[in-house]
Structure 1
Amino acid sequence: MTTSNRPFVHLHCHTHFSLLDGANRIPDLVQKTKEMGMNAAAITDHGNLYGAMEFYTTCKAHDVKPIIGYEAYIAPGRRTDRSASRM
């Protein structure tokens, strides 16, 4: 079975908008997706959606289904909580 026959999509991809964690430029990511025979691609940048519109329009222009995600971290309490128990 070739890669183009497999229903597989990477769902944990960071772009250069994930500072200090991602190096993928969106056009390069979409081009590589097509080269690998995949019909969809995902981005899950850390704490932001800055690349979502560029990703969406680039995918649509290359007949790739865009999957837009968001990697977030959840912590107990509130960010304004300055109690000693959080230090």
Structure 2
Amino acid sequence: YAAAKKAGIKPIIGVEAYVAPRGMTDKEGKQDADYHHMILLARNDVGYRNLLALTTASHLDGYYYKPRIDKELLARHAEGLIGTSACLGGEVLKRLGQGDEAGALKAADEYRSILGDGNFFIEVQEHGIDDQRRLHPQLVELARRNNLPLVATNDTHYTSPDQYEAH
């Protein structure tokens, strides 16, 4: 962080969180092995502290195949955070992919309610994946009809190609 600031770069501190469909402490077989991706970014110092609280709880209390949070915990630590709907593994796109437009809208509204107006974004990505191309028109239309801001991103998990193997 300090090195980035010194170099004149504004660092964006965030995490790809895994949201448990039920509660984060539910750990029963395959039904709780599933999770939804979500991107959380710190807007300020309060948001940074909330990211720390969420990631700590996900590892200590929510770990089941992956470190998970749930919407209840997110609501308790939402101040200072921005969230996005993430990739094809995010709840909104998963539901659209299942043909559940009402469920996708419900999920987006829940996240908007938790994070506050203007702090939840519908995320679009283009990686040449057929499902992305098929679902993007529906995703953009869902955002447009429901006054949800859009953000274009890339599903980046490392800074250079030689780090692929470690990822």
Bigger proportion of residues as helix: 2
| TM-score in terms of structure 1 length | 0.47
Whichever structure has more strand as a proportion of its residues is 2
